[in-house]
Amino acid sequence: MFIEPRVGTGPGVARRGWIEVVCGSMFSGKTEELIRRLNRAKIARQRVEIFKPALDTRYHAEDVVSHNSNSIRSTPVPVAQEMLLLAGGCDVVGVDEAQFFDESLVDVCVQLANGGTRVIVAGLDMDFLGKPFGPMPALMAVAEFVTKVHAICVCCGEIASYSFRMAASEDKILLGETDVYEARCRHCFQEGMKEKSSEPVSKSASAS
Ligand SMILES: [Zn+2]
Annotated ligand binding at 30? The verdict is yes
**pTM of the full structure:** 0.85
DSSP state of 160: E
Distance of CA 188 from the midpoint of ligand 1 (Å): 4
pLDDT for residue 205: 45
Q: Is 164 annotated as ligand-binding?
A: no
Q: What is the DSSP letter of 14?
A: P
What was the pLDDT predicted at 204? 47
At position 139, the amino acid (one-letter code) is L
38 C-alpha to ligand 1 centroid (Å): 32
**Average pLDDT for 48-70:** 67
**Of 20, 33, 49, 97, which is the active-site residue?**
97
Average pLDDT over residues 55-65: 57
Closest CA to 92 of 51, 141, 63: 51
Q: Is 105 annotated as a binding residue?
A: no
Q: Which residue has the higher pLDDT, 134 or 197?
A: 134
- Upper half-sphere CA count for residue 27 (Cβ side, 13 Å): 21
How far, in Å, from the CA of 187 to the mean position of ligand 1? 6
Helix (H) or strand (E) holding 162: strand 162-165
**What is the pairing mode between strands 181-184 and 162-165?**
antiparallel
Catalytic site residue 97?
yes
Report the alpha-carbon distance of residue 20 to residue 145 in Å, rounded: 5
Q: Is 27 annotated as a binding residue?
A: yes
Check residue 157 and give left, alpha or beta (phi > 0: left; psi -120 to 50: alpha).
left
Of 29-33, 99-103, 176-180, minimum mean pLDDT range: 176-180
What is the three-class DSSP state of 104? Answer: helix
Q: CA–CA separation, 181 vs 195, rounded Å?
A: 15
Residue 195 has pLDDT above 60, yes or no: yes
Cα angle 118, 123, 37; round to 5: 40
Q: Which domains does the chain have, with CATH numbers?
A: 18-150 (3.40.50.300)
Calculate how far, in angstroms, residue 59's C-alpha sits from the geometric centre of ligand 1.
29
pLDDT category of residue 206 using cuts at 50, 70 and 90:
very low
Structure confidence at residue 58 (pLDDT)? 55
Comparing 33-47, 70-84, 164-178, the range with the smallest average pLDDT is: 164-178
What is the widest separation between alpha-carbon atoms in the chain? 76
